[in-house]
Structure 1
């Protein structure tokens, strides 16, 4: 199909960059004419494959992890900024005179900005590389914190919260590609797991950091701390994160060869690709919605992930109600209560070897059945989601029915830890399945997932406080738990019948 070839064109460029090897002896010759017998003899690739010193996959392990950790810390900082704001409500409302629902709108607008950013910023990295997107977007992000820090009315804060979320979302859109640039498939599991958890750990740290600041300093210091933190990371990006996108590096290599040899015949594959920025952004905006509404597996799993993300952000309303009203927590103690979710997510990361072994067992069984080495199915990524779907409701029910004043405060925190554990199992499993099931449209599938997750995360806080006060803490939590119970069948159904459904799909791997 034409649209399939368009969507996979950049991927094919990246594949070409891994295998093509130019005859570099020609580089010492001046202004030769292209030989007529070899169509692509002047196509630039990696010398010696990925062992080429210019190839990011040949970097030392230390350098690879240095780059990975910088972008993970940036993602953590940006998502932490979404929730650190919740600690400022009381002081901000007293000074600016706005209502609580307007304050919550600032949280929602930040997350809404995150939902739109990846679809617009992600395709730009395919043309200009990862590094320019990182540097420009994070520069804008740091600058846009300043108006929030000095704002004299709530309107300024709301507008720049949205713009900040949009600018910072570039790292969520592009960082996964950077990790893929650095590590081959055999090395990818650990760095991608650490990157996957960092945007979810950030929101659980925000209330603690914000609570500590606002307990002892003016609320504007949350923004001053963010400026200092973000500027330090900006310096790390400038000095520690080079360009890693293979097609762009090969383009730079071709330009250097043309200059050194005075031979305009040298070219990189990306220079022969006939794609426009507007067309790429158009596809990036359209195809995620095609996958959402035309692919039942993508739709159901994205809704499940979105529900979990919405609950995570709704907790920013629920925790202050539960722990202040029932247990008399102060601001920083409320922030400390969010660590239960973060601890649960970190524990889930340590379960990765279990799910890898489960997948390897399924692959070996498939190999025996088919006689094909390395035979696999996308559904082999789903066992973690199957377990996670059972654990999440347990955590939600435990949280809800331990929110009585006479029950020790540690009980609902344990419930939230169980929720965080199950939620991360689901997130990582769903992400892996979408990439495997829609390999040609993996970026679009992940954009669809990110968009719907952030929409839920933006909307849920707007009604969370009213729901918990209207239904009571126990039944409000139970309502959310029953919604997660309703989603339990999907991972099991798709594990059993996913291959059959994919066989009828327009977009999925057959």
Structure 2
């Protein structure tokens, strides 16, 4: 008689202690912050690089655009790879490459090498920008999204503002090379913390690790089962070839983008706001240097306004949205709210973005108006943009369900592609139609898309139900094919299979054999919210 051995439950990140969740959340947030920090810290060395390498302003601006372009290209690889191999391996290997690239740039004497490695480093580091929201969703349910996604949104936007502030002072006082070196050191420190203290959060990967580990502990008769499990794991790993991953990486995000109108519309709106934010890293130095005659370090201080705007929106999301959620729960008696509930604060918050753009446009050209007025416009722009991201990104995570990394990769591609392209002709646009005209144009575009959170709040439930029905319809042919192949067996074989006894508590490992053991594994092994929520 085979000895029955109890297996411990599958590790569930949603059941981690608060202390562990806080630690992992802060480290992942610091990865996002340091990654976006490099985007603008480099831009503050633009003038120094022009003098050092005798290059034009447009060529040096490529350093910013190529880095942001990596935000678009990287998620196409990092998102589906995280779905296939788990999130921790992607974080570890990509950030080691990211760190190495940063040190290469800091010691290079060739502008072309710096520009190429800016792109490569961004592709590698983008694993944090794309996959951290999915890691956060692994650790909580939609009802607890607020603190996690506030940390993500604040980190993603605080990084550029801090990069502009610190980069200006380091470049002026220590030169462009030390500006590059301090960025590399920053990334190296964060990478060490990530490698040492960020565990795997992907539920299916944790289940596979659990099954492979405890297949060895079932007694003498489980040797064959263990061999099958190990062989199955090897075959599974072998089939995940790099070429297959690349095809999947490119296909899935674009499939979502081209076939789902909710993903498309949200991607367009967030892309515009994101591009405007990065556009301001060109507009701010241009306007305050050529019109207001600010010195480089004074221009660096202007970037504090971005930080203030992002902090305002984060506070709004944490406190106001949570108060709204409590009121809705008390009124309806529901403990789990639909994803549309997270859009309420964005309905009025997103209106701040066009207001801030118009305020900046119609005050910065006039030196008789105090500089604090256009600075307030920047605060409002950042607060409105942050309100959009802290509501629409969690909505995409809930909407995408298990495919959240690919959905985020699709939205990230659109955001970053536009943010990479827009700064390349911003300076010419400001010279051609003036800073006032260029910023007013951006404000008009933002105003057109401001009603989006309201429309999603009203019609989002129907759109999600339609998407769910479309998924079920797409899966129907595969289900029918499986049923047909089963029907090919003889009735006697089917009856024998139905009558075959299965030990109570048995589970099927990756190898396909029945394991005779009881398992107290957690039932919550989904990698994202259920289809009822997404």
TM-score normalised by length of structure 2 = 0.79
CA distance in 2: counterparts of 1:238 and 1:289, whole angstroms:
31
Q: Which moved more, 1:124-133 or 1:307-316?
A: 124-133
Q: What is the match of residue 279 of structure 2?
A: 314
Quote how far apart the aligned CAs of 1:195 are.
Answer: 1.7
Q: What is the match of residue 345 of structure 1?
A: 310
Q: What is the match of residue 527 of structure 2?
A: none
CA distance in 2: counterparts of 1:238 and 1:286, whole angstroms:
29
Q: What is the match of residue 117 of structure 2?
A: 160
CA distance in 1: counterparts of 2:263 and 2:83, whole angstroms:
24
Q: What is the match of residue 73 of structure 2?
A: 116
Q: What is the match of residue 41 of structure 1?
A: none
> Do structure 1's residue 468 and structure 2's residue 421 form an aligned pair?
no
Quote how far apart the aligned CAs of 1:327 are.
Answer: 2.7
> Do structure 1's residue 251 and structure 2's residue 229 form an aligned pair?
no
C-alpha distance 499-190 of structure 1, shift in aligned 2 (>3 A): closer
CA distance in 2: counterparts of 1:502 and 1:254, whole angstroms:
34
1:261-291 per-position Cα deviation (integer Å, ceiling 9, x unaligned): 46343669x9598974555553442232233
Quote how far apart the aligned CAs of 1:440 are.
Answer: 4.8
> Do structure 1's residue 396 and structure 2's residue 374 form an aligned pair?
no
Q: What is the match of residue 36 of structure 1?
A: none
CA distance in 1: counterparts of 2:448 and 2:340, whole angstroms:
20
Mapping of residues 360-371 of structure 1, within 5 Å: 361-362=327-328, 367=332
> Do structure 1's residue 26 and structure 2's residue 12 form an aligned pair?
no
**Residue 357 of structure 1, aligned match among 304, 319, 323:** 323
Q: What is the match of residue 37 of structure 1?
A: none
Please tell me whether the aligned partners of residues 210 and 332 of structure 1 are also in contact (alpha carbons under 8 angstroms): no
Please tell me whether the aligned partners of residues 92 and 219 of structure 1 are also in contact (alpha carbons under 8 angstroms): yes
Quote how far apart the aligned CAs of 1:109 are.
Answer: 0.6
Q: What is the match of residue 155 of structure 2?
A: 198
> Do structure 1's residue 144 and structure 2's residue 101 form an aligned pair?
yes
Q: What is the match of residue 169 of structure 1?
A: 126
Unaligned segments of structure 1, at least 5 residues: 1-23, 29-43
Q: What is the match of residue 27 of structure 2?
A: 70
> Do structure 1's residue 303 and structure 2's residue 268 form an aligned pair?
yes
Mapping of residues 391-430 of structure 1, within 5 Å: 391-403=352-364, 404-430=366-392
Q: Which moved more, 1:450-459 or 1:224-233?
A: 224-233
CA distance in 1: counterparts of 2:315 and 2:455, whole angstroms:
26
Q: What is the match of residue 453 of structure 1?
A: 415
**Residue 457 of structure 2, aligned match among 476, 479, 495:** 495
Q: What is the match of residue 40 of structure 1?
A: none
1:380-405 per-position Cα deviation (integer Å, ceiling 9, x unaligned): 33223321332111111111111022
Q: What is the match of residue 254 of structure 2?
A: 289
1:25-64 per-position Cα deviation (integer Å, ceiling 9, x unaligned): 7348xxxxxxxxxxxxxxx7x52xxxx7x54444432222
**1:460 is paired with a residue of what secondary structure?**
helix
CA distance in 1: counterparts of 2:449 and 2:138, whole angstroms:
35
C-alpha distance 25-432 of structure 1, shift in aligned 2 (>3 A): farther
**2:80 is paired with a residue of what secondary structure?**
coil
CA distance in 2: counterparts of 1:242 and 1:491, whole angstroms:
34
CA distance in 2: counterparts of 1:500 and 1:248, whole angstroms:
32
CA distance in 2: counterparts of 1:294 and 1:252, whole angstroms:
34
C-alpha distance 351-500 of structure 1, shift in aligned 2 (>3 A): same
Unaligned segments of structure 2, at least 5 residues: 473-530
C-alpha distance 507-154 of structure 1, shift in aligned 2 (>3 A): farther
CA distance in 1: counterparts of 2:160 and 2:22, whole angstroms:
23
Q: What is the match of residue 58 of structure 2?
A: 101
> Do structure 1's residue 325 and structure 2's residue 282 form an aligned pair?
no
Quote how far apart the aligned CAs of 1:324 are.
Answer: 1.4
**Residue 382 of structure 1, aligned match among 324, 338, 343:** 343
1:435-492 per-position Cα deviation (integer Å, ceiling 9, x unaligned): 3334353333222111101011101101111111211121211111011111123333
Query: Does 1 or 2 have the higher relative contact order (CA < 8 Å, sep 6+)?
Result: 2
Mapping of residues 184-195 of structure 1, within 5 Å: 184-195=141-152
Q: What is the match of residue 83 of structure 2?
A: 126
C-alpha distance 248-288 of structure 1, shift in aligned 2 (>3 A): closer
C-alpha distance 150-375 of structure 1, shift in aligned 2 (>3 A): closer
CA distance in 2: counterparts of 1:327 and 1:79, whole angstroms:
27
> Do structure 1's residue 234 and structure 2's residue 191 form an aligned pair?
yes
Please tell me whether the aligned partners of residues 69 and 420 of structure 2 are also in contact (alpha carbons under 8 angstroms): yes
C-alpha distance 139-204 of structure 1, shift in aligned 2 (>3 A): same
CA distance in 1: counterparts of 2:177 and 2:345, whole angstroms:
42
Q: Which moved more, 1:466-475 or 1:242-251?
A: 242-251
Please tell me whether the aligned partners of residues 142 and 227 of structure 1 are also in contact (alpha carbons under 8 angstroms): yes
TM-score normalised by length of structure 1 = 0.83
CA distance in 2: counterparts of 1:418 and 1:218, whole angstroms:
33
